[in-house]
Amino acid sequence: MARRGEDLGGEFVRSAWVVLAIWALYGAVHLALLPLLGWDVPGPDEWTRLLQVRAWMDGQSWWDVTQYRMNPPAGFSMHWSRLVDLPLALAIAVLGEDWGMAVVPLVWLLPVMFALRSIMLRLGFSRVAYGFGLILLPLFPLLPGSYAPLSIDHHVPQAVLGVICAALLLSPRVWAAVAAGFFAAAWVVISLEGLVLVAVLAGLYALRYLVEEQRLLPWFLLSLTVSAAFLSLATRPNAELFGPFCDILRPGHIATFGIATLVAGIVPFLPFQQNAAGRLAGLALIPLASVPLALVVLGPCAVNPMAQLDPALAAWWHGYIAEGLPFWEQPVSVAAMLIWTLVPIIGGYWLAGRGGGFSDGAGMPWLLLFLFTLAAWAYSLLLLRAGLIAQLLTIPFAAVMLALLLPRTRAIPSAAPRALATLCCFMLATPTFASALGKPLDPLFPTPTMARGAAAPMAEEPCDYAQLDRLEPGLLLVTMDAAPEILGKTGHTVIAASYHRNQQPMVDIIAAYTGTDQDARAIIDTYRPDYVIACQSAVDFALYRTATPENFANTLADGKVPAWLTPVAGFDNGVLRVYRTR
């Protein structure tokens, strides 16, 4: 592989200006297409993020992320972090709501591109490999939509922070380890799902000490501990930190980080640290001290934050959220995409070694990136949304594959074999083709996420929930997926939405639609909603219809309205039906 400093043109290609130009072009194309594609907010999580920012900008406390228009007056407790709200609120304040939501995902893309640039410079990429690394993002299926306008959920910032940590990991500098600890802390404060890969980061800093005697691990852990404590206290009320929930970073986590920091700081001063066996024995003390502490102080929260999920939610809700499921519960095309991502990771690493990429001190950075990417890939097999960071980290490996293999294909004299070989290079380097080839197999091996609502007839026309704003504001009994959009477009309130802390209202919504008319009436008597909503094209409404032939969802779908409901004029037929309770 060619090295840095090849020529002046190569230096320009690697400059920050080229990164900015490619990012600006990518953003300009997306924003230009937005009026054609529409301004529809992608899903419930994006709507709820917007509702959270609206409430804060309207005066709700920074410390309070409760959604008070869900299950009023108590509201819905949320575990989301204000850290994600900050850039969105700023963009909305400057550009207005629509353009603020359009721009923020593209803003998140910029640090990703600079982190990839840093990785490629650290590894000494050739000009060609570097160029590929800047333009390959659209060929990784999970990435384009994640950075598209209006995609404002918190999974994108998590991936951004993960890639930044990867770039900092490759540096031998103390300041980089301290910065990595800060960004890792922000990562786990936003979502505890990041804890797995943050632990891998700590393990890789330990590897640097084991192999190279670089004492970066204590600095990383110290920064992680202090930053996690600061960011938690700065963004969450104390009552929540010590509350019953397992889905946020708790004092027990921070105490565990602290013990790991203390032991890691002592290890270099222990006997026998001059040899690898002694260093390995010293490093082993860190998990021996910290893991038992975590099990004691965190209890069930140390194992599974979702362990207390109600069986009804597991059966009718959580088991249908594709982004939270492992690869064996995904459609064939998605599973193939996840698995195939391993090919460019291994292929790029192997080719980089053969091409001389491990010389000039780049061997350890390459190994660190390879192991971290491999861990992210393995995590993505268990949790689909972790595939976002896995695919971002795979880009440098894919770039190396293309830079080293494509020149060989161009040397093939015959046009047809040359074109086929070129296509095969891209098939090897990205998971897009594996996903496309698996698509025809999806109907042959249906999964629960694919079959959601398929057993019950559904209308094709989407429900226009903005029409509900014509009604006098009231409390709605409505399926959970539609609830955030209704709150975003109308002045109504709802009983529940799909956020796991608030299990009882969620269970009651499911029980109302999947149970008998009498079950629904009992729940209505408990919550006293003003309206009952039935969207014929909503996939969760269709799913509830599959429970039993005579359940409440089927009663509404078939137009057999109970006597205690009155059809609302203008909503008594068609895809969106509304009933007033008596």
Residue 8 binned pLDDT confidence (cut-offs 50, 70, 90): very low
Q: What is the DSSP letter of 325?
A: S
For the chain, give the percent of residues with pLDDT over 90.
74
Residues 6 or more apart whose CB falls under 8 angstroms from that of 349 comprise: 366, 370, 397
What's the gap between Cα 581 and its chain centre?
39
pLDDT of residue 452: 57
Count of Cβ atoms closer than 10 Å to residue 324 Cβ: 16
Question: What does the pLDDT read at residue 457?
Answer: 54
**Structure token digits, residue 315:** 């059966």
pLDDT at 156 over 80: yes
Q: Residue 390 pLDDT > 90, yes or no?
A: yes
User: Cα(503)–Cα(317) distance, rounded to whole angstroms?
Assistant: 11
Taking the CA atoms of 106, 109, 113 and 114 in sequence, report the sign of the dihedral they define. positive
pLDDT digits (tens, 9 = 90+) for 78-91: 989 999 999 999 99
Beta strands 475-477; 531-535: pairing state: parallel
**Residue 533 parent element (H or E):** strand 531-535
Q: What's the confidence (pLDDT) of residue 512?
A: 96
pLDDT at residue 2 above 60? Answer: no
Top pLDDT among 542 and 262 is at 262
Cβ atoms within 10 Å, residue 135 = 13
- The predicted model gives 294-315 an average pLDDT of 80
Q: Output the average pLDDT for the chain.
A: 91
pLDDT category, 299, cuts 50, 70, 90? Answer: confident
Of all helices (H) and strands (E), which one includes residue 493? strand 493-494
Whether 1 shows a pLDDT value over 50: the answer reads: no
| pLDDT digit string, tens, across residues 192-208 | 999 999 999 999 999 99
Res 431 pLDDT > 70: yes
* The pLDDT value given to residue 303: 72
The string of pLDDT tens digits covering residues 170-194 is 999 999 999 999 999 999 999 999 9
Cα distances from 290 to residues 63, 173, 302, 438, 526, in angstroms, run: 30, 26, 12, 43, 46
The pLDDT of residue 4: 44
User: In the numeric block, which tokens belong to residue 248?
Assistant: 């946020």
- pLDDT score of 96 more than 90: yes
Above 90 in pLDDT, residue 532?
A: yes
Cβ distance 285 to 267 under 8 Å? yes
Asked if the model's pLDDT at residue 3 lies above 80, the reply is no
In total, the chain counts a number of residues equal to 582
**According to the model, what pLDDT value does residue 330 have?**
92
Q: How many helices (H) and strands (E) does the chain have?
A: 27, 5
Token representation of residue 524: 């209505």
pLDDT at 305 over 70: no
Kind of pairing between the strands at 493-494 and 531-535? unpaired
- Is residue 423 within 8 A of residue 139, CB to CB? The reply is no
Percent of the chain whose predicted confidence (pLDDT) is above 70: 96
The whole-number pLDDT of residue 456 equals 56
Write out pLDDT tens, residues 339-367.
999 999 999 999 999 877 787 778 999 99
Instruction: Give the three-state DSSP class for 537.
Output: coil
Q: 316: helix, coil or strand?
A: helix
Q: How far apart are the first and last CA of the chain?
A: 75
pTM, two decimals, is 0.93
Give residue 306's pLDDT band: very low, low, confident or very high (50, 70, 90).
low
C-alpha 374/C-alpha 341 separation (Å) is 10
Residue 437 scores a pLDDT above 80? yes
What secondary structure letter does DSSP report for 530? S
The per-residue pLDDT for range 226-277, each reduced to its tens digit, is 999 999 999 988 878 887 888 899 999 999 999 999 999 999 999 999 999 9
Q: What is the pLDDT of residue 494?
A: 97
Instruction: Work out the average pLDDT over 12-19.
Output: 87
The candidate with the shortest Cα–Cα distance to 429, out of 160, 146, 137, is 137
Strands 475-477 and 493-494: parallel
User: What average pLDDT does the segment 454-460 reach?
Assistant: 61
pLDDT, residue 307, reads 61
